[in-house]
Each structure stands twice: as C-alpha cells, then as structure tokens.
Structure 1
Amino acid sequence: MITRDSQAFLAFARGLAPDFGPACARAAFLVAPDGFVLAEQSASDNAYMDLSVAVDPLRASAQHRALHAALAQDLPVVCFPGDPDAPDGLFPNNVFATGPGIVLVGRMRHPVRQREAGRADIRGFFTGLLGRREIDLRAQPGVCELTGSVVIDRARGLAYAGLGERCDEPGARALHEALGLRATLLFDLAPGEYHANVVMSVLAGRALVVAPSGFADPGVAEALASLYAPHVVRLTAAQKAAFAGNCIALRDDRLRISQAGADALDPAQRASLAGAGFELAPVPLDEVEKAGGSLRCCVAEIY
C-alpha cells in the first residue's frame, strides 16, 4: 500500500505484527566531516542552516569522533573518510540505505550531494566485501533522499515519506519497492522543512517522537501518534529546531540524541521516553549541527 490517506493507512497498519524484520540495525556507518564547511546548495532549501555563522572544522571532527565512540557502545560502527568536495557527506543516511542483502543508492536533489552517491569505497564495502546487491535509485524516476526523507518502522515494514523538494511521490515509491515495504504513507512537509527525519522518529518500532508543526497537515502527525500510543513524545517547534526529533534507537533500550536535542526536552517528555524503555544517551554535536542536520542524519544503518 502507498497512500496519502492516513486513515486507510492506519486501518491497514493496525493489523500488522512487528515481524517484518529487526526493529534496530545490526551495524552502522558514518562518514567523517573532513574539510567541514557549509554547503551553499544545501542551504538553499535547509532552514536549519545559516551560512553567516563561522564553523570550526577541528571541533566538528572532534565531536564526530566522540559520536563514533559513543555509538560503538551500542553496535558495530564503521567510519569512512570524508571528501572535502562533498561537504554534506557526513550525513550518509540520505545517500545510502540498506535492507537484507541489498544496499540502496539514493537520488539526491543537489549536485553537491550527488557526488557522494558515486563513492566507490562505500559501494564496494557493501557489494564487494558484504556481497550485497546494489539497487541504484538514480536510474529511477523521482527524487528520494532515502532515510532522511523517509522514516521507516523496520519492525512493521512501514514508511512515512515526507514530500517536498528532496522527496517526491515517484521517489518514495521507488524506495518502497526497493525495500519491499508493506505500506508507505505519503504526507506533505510543512513549508521550510526539508526532511522527515527532522520532524519525526520511530524508536525501535514501539515509540514515536513527532513535531506536528513539521507537517503541512498536523492531523497526519496525530494519526501517526495514535498508532504508537501511549509511547508518543510530541515536540514543540522550538524543540524541533533544536533537533530533538532527529534521534535514533540503535538498540531497543537506548535513545541516541544530540545534547542540544536532549536539553530541549522537558521532564514529562523524558519520563515518557523512560516509560517506553529508553535510556536517554545524548552526544554533543552543536558544531556539526551548523550544517543543518544532527545525530540521526549522521548515522547510516546497516540491516
């Protein structure tokens, strides 16, 4: 099922068992922020970027290394070197995604991001070393920046595709078919939003963090909340801007989030996450966040 009808989607999704696959990744990979700068093309449709701010490449690298060390406590993590000619490369989950036996290459909107999709080392890691079949969505119609644009509930085989300049309906359909998903809900992002994974996150298939203000129709966010109730954390616009929604559960008992995102949560929200079985494990990433993404954007999951 691929639909814009949230009620039809819910009627279908409520009957699904969480048996599509593991709720959390087996491993992950990062790309180092070598030559860290702000990409002007990306800033054209990323309201979370401010080209007037100064950036410190050494500080960004130090924070990224600390992120690698922290995530390695949760699961195996590989880090590839960065490419100064691809300054957004530290956000690889937009370009690469995986499913059992496959690796996907996304179709990116901006030329500065399209360079990343040609990296022979990352693609060879999956096809040559791991023996996975590559599905190159650049040959498909539409634009889809993979798990940046589309948030996936891996346990149920469900996807939430935030449509905008970086993801359209043909692109979302290509991702749906490549991963063999059971259902994908299409919804429009609010004006100024660029990726669904900034406005929502599904945690280990059993909880939802969501910012209704990031949806063109906040009613869609409420419909999704009903599917994951009672384990739902609703974010304010200010909390979303602090990247509280750009979080991830790489194991079923721990939530990784940036320090800024964690600091933005109120006590009731923290208690709600604890009640869902998640330990809050923040990592300082304020220098990295100047590039318009946060912790979730840095993590490409390996299933």
Structure 2
Amino acid sequence: MVTVNQQRVLRKRTYLMCSPERFAVEYAINPWMDVATPVDAELAVRQWDGLRRTLVDLGHEVHLLTPEPGLPDMVFAANGAFMVDGTVYGARYKHEQRAAEAGLHRAFYEAHGWRFIAPGETNEGEGDFAYLPEAHGGLILAGHGFRTELPAHAEAQEALGRPVVSLHLVDPRFYHLDVALASIDDGNVAYYPGAFSAASQQVLAQLFPDAVLADDADALAFGLNLVSDGANVVLNGAATRLAGRLKAAGYTPVPVELSELKKGGGSVKCCVAELRL
C-alpha cells in the first residue's frame, strides 16, 4: 500500500514546450483524433499558456520551441527526444505527418550544445520513455506496441547508458507510454494496468509495489498524462479520483484544463519534455 501523507520532496525541473498556435486536427493518427471535430485555436493557446504559467509558478524553468507551419502536432513537445544527464536520444516518428518535427527538436538541442545521438530506430521520445533516477539505481521504462518499436529500447540503452525495461502496450487508446504511465517522483510511478500486457503488468507490480494505480475512467480522461516535480502533480482536472489517490499518497494535485489539446490525443505530459541536464 502507498504510504499515506508521506513527505514529498520537490525538485526544480527544466522543461521544453511549444505553443499550439498552429495546432489543428488535420489527420487522424490515433483513436482520439477526429478531423470532423473542430478545434478552438484560441482556447487551445489559452489552456496551453495556463499550463506553462502553472509550471513557472511552481518554480520550474520552461524553454520554448518555435512552432512551424504545416506541423500542427508540434505542441506535443514530449515526443521530439529523450534526455538523460545531458545526453539526448533523438526521435524518429512513425507517421510521416510528424516526421519533420524531429529535425526541429534536434536543432534546438544542438544549439544548446547538448550531446545529441541520432536514432536509427523508430521512437517517439518521451512519449514512450520515462526515466526514474532513483529506481533500482536509475531505470528507463520504455513502451512499445503502437509507435516506438522494440529495437529502439536497446538503442536507447546504448545511447544513454541506463538499463531499459520494455513494457508492452496493448490498448490502442493508450498508444504512448505517457498516456498509461507517469513518473510521480524519482523512484515511483502511477499507471493504468489495463493498458499493458499481462506480463508487463507483472513486471510493473514487482518493480513498483507502492505505485499509484489509476482506474479506467481517469486513464481515459488522460489523468496519467501528467507532470510531477516530486511533490506537485500537474494533471488533467477531469481525473478526480486519481487526484484523490495522489493526495492520499502525499502529493499535491494541481488540476489544469486542456480540453482542446485532448482532441489531438494529448494532455499535460504530451506538451512537456523534461530537460534532464
């Protein structure tokens, strides 16, 4: 069982985000996207800016990536790369509609002088990779099944020098790891068991016996697509039961509204890449 009211420690984070001023649903590459459903572009920008301000107000640093014409999903900045200790493993998108985003992310990281390792395998950055520096000496959790391909897990392990645990996603509604699982501090996670194969559920239960579990309603509300600094958990406001479970475990839920961006298949975490320097 999760320890109730355990003291949680905030650690300042550095993030990368990209404004949704060019966001639209112009194609459908996940079950949440419907080209017939209109997007309120102005509301999307306001909601996104509310998320950005929330992170800044919590004491974190936010870098901004410039959105480019013809790339309506650039707002989902988490997918562009995966950084651990200043080394960046780049993305290689599955769908050609997003392929050009990878080069823009690479240019950002290289302009800052960080070591960039170009991928040879299909992977979608933090969409399918999560890092827990205090779990078992430093552990990468990696999803596969819909976007990132299994050989990318071995490539990431070689690039970043951290052990990688592969987790098989089996429900297409949870097409990325970051809509099914989130790190809530440097050594623990929250996740929805139903998104994973039976074997992967067993692995998660062994690795994280104190994990916070989400029910199907909160998972479908994108509650697990969250950002945590170890104490404050910024999550979709519709995930009320998950917020209660996090609060009982000693975290402070910080709800935000991102209804427009959910139309593209993302929420809080999809919009936020962590720069682990």
Report the TM range for the smaller structure's normalisation.
Answer: 0.7 to 0.9
Deviation at 1:26, TM superposition (A): 3.3
Change beyond 3 A, Cα 1:225–1:247: farther
| Alignment pair present for 1:126 and 2:138 | no
Partner of 1:253: 231
What do residues 163-216 of structure 1 show as CA deviations (whole Å, max 9, x unaligned)?
Answer: 1231111112112222211x2222321141310111111211233211111113
Q: Which of 51, 57, 61 does residue 41 from structure 2 map onto?
A: 57
Give the AA of the match of 1:297: C
Give the AA of the match of 1:256: V
Q: Which of 198, 204, 218 does residue 239 from structure 1 map onto?
A: 218
Change beyond 3 A, Cα 1:133–1:71: same
What do residues 50-83 of structure 1 show as CA deviations (whole Å, max 9, x unaligned)?
Answer: 3321111111011111111111123111222312
**TM-score, structure 1 normalization:** 0.80
Secondary structure of 1:50 counterpart: coil
Give the AA of the match of 2:212: V
Give the number of aligned pairs.
264
What do residues 253-278 of structure 1 show as CA deviations (whole Å, max 9, x unaligned)?
Answer: 110112223x3x2xxx5454224331
Structural RMSD (CA): 2.1
Q: Which of 259, 264, 270 does residue 297 from structure 1 map onto?
A: 270
Secondary structure of 2:97 counterpart: helix
Cα distance in 1 for residues equivalent to 2:131 and 2:201: 15
| Alignment pair present for 1:110 and 2:95 | yes
**TM-score, structure 2 normalization:** 0.87
Q: Which runs of 5+ in 1 are unaligned?
A: 1-21
| Alignment pair present for 1:169 and 2:150 | yes
Secondary structure of 2:222 counterpart: coil
List aligned pairs for 1:130-279, cutoff 5 A.
130-137=112-119, 140=120, 142-156=121-135, 157-181=138-162, 183-192=163-172, 193-217=174-198, 219-230=199-210, 232-249=211-228, 251-261=229-239, 263=240, 265=241, 269-279=242-252
CA contact (8 A) 2:132 2:188 kept: no
Q: Quick one: percent identity of the two aligned structures?
A: 29
What do residues 15-71 of structure 1 show as CA deviations (whole Å, max 9, x unaligned)?
Answer: xxxxxxx9966310101112221141xx23x12223321111111011111111111
Secondary structure of 1:62 counterpart: helix
CA contact (8 A) 2:133 2:187 kept: no
CA contact (8 A) 1:154 1:205 kept: yes
CA contact (8 A) 1:48 1:241 kept: no
